[in-house]
Amino acid sequence: MHVADSNKAQALASILAPHYDMGNLAVDVRVLDGNGMEVQPLSLTTGQEVVDTITTALGANPLFLLAVETRLPFQGGGVGVVFQKVLLQYFSDDIGELFGNTNISAAAVFGNILTMKYGDVPLKLGTARSASAEN
């Protein structure tokens, strides 16, 4: 992946999983800066570092809403990342689906490609609440 903005390139290299299996296809992720040089990930150790890095990496993505440090009862600390309530669909030759598609939430897709733990800081992904759920 080529990224012109060096700050965004560093952030993406730090949050994207370096390897992802998609069925029988394996994807190795390399982030290159505007000069074509491979960017190495940062070592993120605090919740605020993770929040800042995710915000830098995904801030322009319309599916990303926010990242925030969490301290939820019974769940402990970590970083919560909230995505738009959007269903993503792509053809995958799924014989269990009428049209052969895979249908998955944006949060679930990001859960497949993001590094989900940074030292002692886990990510917790969520989806924006619908207007009816807030009443």
Domain residue ranges in the chain: 6-129
What is the value of pTM for the model shown? Answer: 0.86
Residue 133 confidence class, pLDDT cut points 50, 70, 90: low
Q: Are 47 and 55 in contact (CB under 8 A)?
A: no
Helices (H), strands (E): how many in the chain? 3, 8
pLDDT for the residue 90: 87
pLDDT digits (tens, 9 = 90+) for 43-88: 999 999 999 999 999 999 999 999 999 986 766 789 999 999 999 9
pLDDT for the residue 5: 95
Decide the pairing of beta strands 121-127 and 64-72: unpaired
Average pLDDT of span 97-116? 93
15 contacts: CB under 8 Å, gap ≥ 6: 41, 53, 54, 57, 58, 114, 115
pLDDT digits (tens, 9 = 90+) for 97-106: 999 998 999 9
More confident residue, 134 or 41: 41
